Amino acid sequence: MSRLAQNQDAIFDVVDAHNCVVGQARRKEIHAKGLLHRAIHIFWIKNNGQLCLQRRSYGKDSCPGLLSSSCAGHLDAGESYDTAAYRELAEELGFTAPQGSLIKLESFAAHPDLGNEFVCVYLLNSDDSAKIAEAEVDALLWRTPHEVDQWIVSSPGLFSTSLVYLFQQPTVRRALGLVEKVKG
């Protein structure tokens, strides 16, 4: 597919190693030069314990067709993490979550496995229904966090590097009920 699923001319804040804004640039420039910038990830769990995985559109410029968090996206220039999280949820999954329903889990420093993004991760517990934005999302899959964890181990190439990275983080694992065994 030659048409990308996102606007390559969108303007994002460029940040330094301390996550302080040092300028703005277009998406295509940020990605081409590996500049530090900001993003959010949301893990959406329904009351039945199923975790939503998003298969990224094949038109994405990074990790096309791979499984990722329920919802993810860049912060627009000047936008807060919280505002971006609610906006991305509406844009990608087609529903408006009530303010306060996204639980902030942790913020992570920019890392190559996160696409040079400072990432704020949220948890959403909701039985809402999604209406995916087909330009951004190919499909949604529902699995338990334990099934996803095992699937990542057996077939890591099916997943975005950011999902694999985030699934290794203790705060995310605890929030998803993936309690670590005590080594003794």
For 83, the domain range is 11-175
Q: Decide if 180 is inside a domain.
A: no
How far apart CA 35 and CA 47 sit, in angstroms, is: 38
Q: Decide if 129 is inside a domain.
A: yes
How far apart CA 65 and CA 63 sit, in angstroms, is: 6
Model confidence over 129-160: pLDDT tens digits? 999 988 889 999 999 999 999 999 999 999 99
If we measure between CA atoms, which residue out of 31, 12, 32 comes closest to residue 22? 12
Q: Decide if 4 is inside a domain.
A: no
Q: Decide if 52 is inside a domain.
A: yes
Q: What is the CATH number of the domain that holds 73?
A: 3.90.79.10
Q: Decide if 63 is inside a domain.
A: yes
How far apart CA 75 and CA 96 sit, in angstroms, is: 17
pTM of the model: 0.92
Structural domains counted in the chain: 1
Model confidence over 54-103: pLDDT tens digits? 998 877 777 778 999 999 999 999 999 999 999 999 999 999 999 999 99
Q: What is the mean pLDDT of residues 23-30?
A: 94
Q: Decide if 181 is inside a domain.
A: no
Decide if 75 contacts 39 (C-beta within 8 A): yes
Please state, rounded to an integer, the average pLDDT across all residues of the chain. 91
Q: Decide if 61 is inside a domain.
A: yes
Q: Decide if 184 is inside a domain.
A: no
How far apart CA 13 and CA 35 sit, in angstroms, is: 10
pLDDT band at 180 (very low <50, low <70, confident <90, very high): low
Q: What is the mean pLDDT of residues 108-125?
A: 97
